[in-house]
Amino acid sequence: MISIEQATTLLLNGKLVAIPTETVYGLAADAKNPTAVQKIYTVKGRPATNPLIIHIPNSDAMIEWAINIPQNAWKLASAFWPGPLTLILNRHPSVPKIVTGGQDTVALRVPNHSLTLALLNQFGGGVAAPSANRYGRISPTTAQHVEKSLGNAVDYILDGGPCTIGIESTIVSLVGPSPIILRYGSISALALRRVLGENLTDKDNHPAIEVPGTSHSHYAPLQPLHLLDKETLMKTLLQWIEQNKKVSVISFKERPAALSPLILKWICMPSQPQFYAQQLYQQLHALDKEKSDCIVVEVPPPSEEWLAIRDRLQRAARPL
Ligand code: TXA
Ligand code: MG
């Protein structure tokens, strides 16, 4: 049975609760309780320097967690919250430093999921929540994924069904002279520009900016994943089949009939980024259970609408 009351009580008692959001499931603890927040780092095996996002019930709550809030933050909050956008702002002195990985900035977001919004309203505070997976692995998009990867290490899983967006939020830093995209997500640079009335740069334009927790290897399945263009993919597959390698394939095309018997699994993905994102982690979790030697993924198109997906795939991938 789904119980918001039970989840609220556990959070108030310093326990860990997995929460559904529209992006991925989060592993939540009371953001004002350093002992509870420490458990998140321990359970995930996450470095203490990798800061957590604080999930708050509404935009008005921003003032409890951040100071010197710029006008741009209010504009973005009113356009996109609740929703898949995380804002980096100056940390309010009352935010425990363990939440921010020791930094003087804080990440805030109002998630768009009715159960989690109900939980946050009843809890009355903010919850620190990274994605509810072991460090470096694939983010969970169902309660079953959380159960499988964290099991008894989490005190309660609030099952809100499969996540509708499927990849993590867009992160925008508002602490510098101009807004910077730190992580791409389903809210695009264009959508942000429409609201802010100015062009946004991303962290590649600011090599001096260190974004904690964006280490290269991330979102990775257990088997090696190779990201290949269409031609290389077909050539490599033919070689591997000759060598009796068992391969799983994520492609935009249907499985060519000639290849069928030796290929363990062939997944044909949607050609629209929104639907691709919705399925991506679900498919990677499923492929992790197969006994293939590796996963090959056809690289998505180079256009801007595929940026967030290409970023996740590049960080999951290893060179051939
Ligand atoms: O969609 C999401 O954002 C999901 C759901 C659960 O809300 N959460 C999520 O959390 O993806 P996580 O921990 O997997 O990623 C959080 C990232 C950090 O790795 C870091 O890149 C960035 O947020 N971050 C957090 N605090 C920051 C800060 N003060 N400055 C810069 N980046 C920060
Ligand atoms: Mg994560």
Over the stretch 224-272, which tens digit does the pLDDT of each residue have? 999 999 999 999 988 888 888 889 999 999 988 877 666 678 999 999 9
Cα(52) to ligand 1 centroid in Å equals: 5
Quote the ligand 1 centre to 82 CA distance (angstroms). Answer: 16
How far does the chain reach from its first CA to its final CA, in angstroms? Answer: 46
Q: How much is the mean pLDDT over the chain?
A: 94
Atom of ligand 1 nearest to the CA of 23: 1
CA 130 to ligand 2 centroid distance, Å: 6
Helices (H), 86-222: 114-123, 143-150, 189-196
Point out the ligand 1 atom lying closest to the alpha carbon of residue 53: 25
pLDDT of residue 67: 98
| Distance separating alpha carbons of residues 198 and 233, to the nearest angstrom | 39
**Domain boundaries defined on the chain:** 4-205, 225-316
Q: State the Cα–Cα distance between residues 273 and 306, nearest whole angstrom.
A: 6
Q: Is the CB of 149 under 6 A from ligand 1?
A: no
Which atom of ligand 1 is the closest one to the Cα of 105? 29
User: Average pLDDT for consecutive 10-residue bins of the chain (320 residues)?
Assistant: 89 98 98 98 95 98 98 98 98 98 97 98 98 95 97 96 98 96 96 95 86 72 93 91 89 85 83 98 93 93 96 93
pLDDT tens-place string over residues 204-213: 888 888 777 6
Residue 142, CB half-sphere, CA atoms under 13 Å: how many? 13
Closest CA to 223 of 310, 163, 136, 289: 289
Whole-Å CA distances, 312 to 26, 28, 139: 17, 22, 10
Residue 266 in 3-state DSSP? Answer: strand
Ligand nearest to the CA of 169: 1
Task: Answer whether 213 contacts ligand 1 (Cβ < 6 A).
Answer: yes
Say which DSSP state 94 is in.
Answer: T
| Whole-number Cα distances in Å, 37 to 41, 52, 279 | 7, 9, 30
Query: Interior CA angle at 308 toward 166 and 171, to 5°?
Result: 85
CATH placement of domain 225-316: 3.40.50.11030
145 neighbors 50 (Cβ within 8 angstroms): no
Torsions phi, psi of 286, nearest 5? -65, -40
In short, whether 112's Cβ falls inside 6 Å of ligand 1 is no
- Which ligand 1 atom lies nearest to the CA of residue 106? 29
User: Global pTM?
Assistant: 0.96
120-136 tens-digit pLDDT: 999 999 999 999 999 99
| pLDDT, position 215 | 63
Surrounding residues of ion ligand 2, Cβ less than 5 A: 131
**Spatial distance between the Cα atoms of 156 and 7, rounded to a whole number of angstroms:** 7
DSSP 8-state class, residue 87: E
Span 4-205 CATH architecture: Alpha-Beta Complex (3.90)
Going by the DSSP 8-state scheme, the letter that residue 200 receives in this structure is -
